Amino acid sequence: MDKLKLLAFDADDLAVMSAHLQDAVVKVADMAFLPAEKRFALVVNRFDWEGAATGERRRRRTGLHVDRVTRARRFKIPQGAGEEVLNLLAVTFEETDAPAGVLTIVFSGERAVALDVECLEAAMSDLGPMWSTEHVPDHALDKDES
What pTM, to 2 d.p., does this model score?
Answer: 0.90
Assess if residue 145 is contained within a domain.
Answer: no
Average pLDDT, the chain: 91
Greatest CA span in the chain, whole angstroms? 56
118 domain-assigned: yes
Domain around 84: 5-130
Region of poorest pLDDT, from 1-5, 57-61, 84-88, 121-125: 1-5
Angle at 133 (CA atoms; ends 138, 23), nearest 5 degrees: 40
pLDDT above 60: residue 146: no
**How many domains does the structure of the chain reveal?**
1
Q: What is the pLDDT of residues 16-56, one digit of tens each?
A: 999 999 999 999 999 999 999 999 999 999 998 888 888 88
Residue 144 in domain:
no
Residue 108 CA, distance from chain mean position: 12
**Stretch 78-88: mean pLDDT:** 89
Domain assignment present for residue 11? The answer is: yes
Q: What percent of the chain has pLDDT over 70?
A: 94
